[in-house]
Amino acid sequence: MDIDTPEFMEYFLDFSVAVTGFSRFDLQGTGQVSLYFSTIRGIIGDQIFGELLQTFHDLDRKAKRENNQSVLTDGISFEILVSGKLGPIARNIIKLWYTAIWYQLPSPWQEKFGARQNDITFIVSPYAYPEGLLWPAIGVNPPGAKAPGYGTWSEPPSVKLS
């Protein structure tokens, strides 16, 4: 499978929007989209990455066609996240977006689908760290970057529980 096409980049963005809960603008606003795409691809290869994105895209299309959002949400839960093959990759992509860290895949996955050479736990790039979504998710700056300004810590928090 060749995923080096604009469509797969689009699928990646759509998938990322769905699993992170952040908008496309937010994700592109991190400036990390292509770095993350190439990092994931470089570690797990086109085949499984492509399969994940294609599976998501098919679910997304079906949900839109049937105008039924639960097709997508159920699909993400039961066809992707619980899948022994795609689940660990999907979870890793969420963690990557939130923390800029690629976590080494769990050993059952490695045993079944083959260990990958670059599959170690690492921060993808020092300047990806401040772009982690964990921090905006809880309404704070990443420690050590994007400071909010003097005295802002006295204000009520910007996030709330719904």
Partner 1 sequence: MTIKSVDCQTVSKTFYDAVIVGSGVAGAIVAKQLSEQGKNVLILEAGTSRDLTLAGFQSYVETFYGAIAKHANSPYPLNLNALSPTDGLNSYFEEKGPMPLSGSYTRVTGGTTMHWQGTTLRMLPDDFKLRSKYGQGLDWPIEYTDLMPYYRKAEYEIGVSGNTKEQKELDIPFLPGYVFPMKELPPSYLDEQIREKIDGTTFDLDKETIKLKLSSFPQGRNSVPNPDYALYHGDVFVPSGVTSENPLEYGERCQGNASCVPICPVQAKYDARRTLGTIAFPDRVHLLSQAVASRVEIDPENGRVTAIHYKHYKDKNSPQYTIGTAKGRLFVLAANAIENAKLMLASELLSTSGLIGNNMMDHPFILTWALMPQVIGTMRGPLVTSGIGTFRKGKFRKQQSAFGIAIENSGWGWSGTGATDVLRDAVNRNRYGKDLRQELIDRISRQLLLAFMCELPADYSNRVTIDPQYKDRLGNYRPVIHFNISDYCKKTMADARKVSREIFKRLKAEDYTHYKNSDPAYFEYEGEGYWYRGGNHFSGTHVMGTSKHNSVVNKNLRSWDYENLYLVGSGSMPSIGTANTTLTIAALSFLASEQMLKDLNT
Partner 2 sequence: MKSDRLKLITTIEDLRYYLIQGMKIEHATIPPYLTALYSLKPGSNLEAFHMIRPIVVEEMLHLTLAANVFNAVGGNIEGVFTNPEFVPRYPTKLPTGEEEFLVNVGKFSKQAVKTFLNIERSKEVTQDEPLVGSRVKEEFLLSIFGYDPTKSFSSIRLFYAEVIRGLYALHKEMGDALFCGDPQKQISREYYYNGAGDIIKVTDFDSAIRALTLIQEQGEGSRTEAIYDAEKKLCHYYRFEQLELGQYYVVDKNEPLNSDKPHCPTGKTFTVDWDAVYPVKENAKLNDYPKGSELYTAAQDFQKAYSKFLEEIEDSFNGNPEKLVLAVGGMFRLRDLANSLIRNPIPGMDGVNGAPIYRLD
Residues found in the chain: 162
Binding site for partner 1 (CB under 8 A): 18-21, 76-77, 81-82, 87, 90-91, 94-95, 98-99, 101, 103, 121-123, 125-127, 129-130, 134, 137-141, 143-145, 147-162
Residue 23 interacting partner from partner 1, partner 2, none (CB closer than 5 to 8 Å by kind): partner 2
Whether residue 103 contacts residue 92, with contact meaning beta carbons closer than 8 Å, is answered with yes
Residue 24 interacting partner from partner 1, partner 2, none (CB closer than 5 to 8 Å by kind): partner 2
> Does residue 138 interact with partner 2 by CB under 8 A?
no
Q: Which of residues 103-132 bind partner 2 (CB under 8 A)?
A: 126-127, 130
3-state secondary structure of 125: coil
Q: What is the DSSP letter of 142?
A: P
3-state secondary structure of 105: coil
How many other CB atoms sit within 10 Å of the CB of residue 88?
A: 20
Q: Which of residues 21-50 bind partner 2 (CB under 8 A)?
A: 23-26, 28-31
For residues 122-138, b (16+ Cβ closer than 10 Å) or e, as one string?
eebeeebbebbbebbee
Binding interface with partner 2 (CB under 8 A) = 23-26, 28-31, 126-127, 130, 146-152
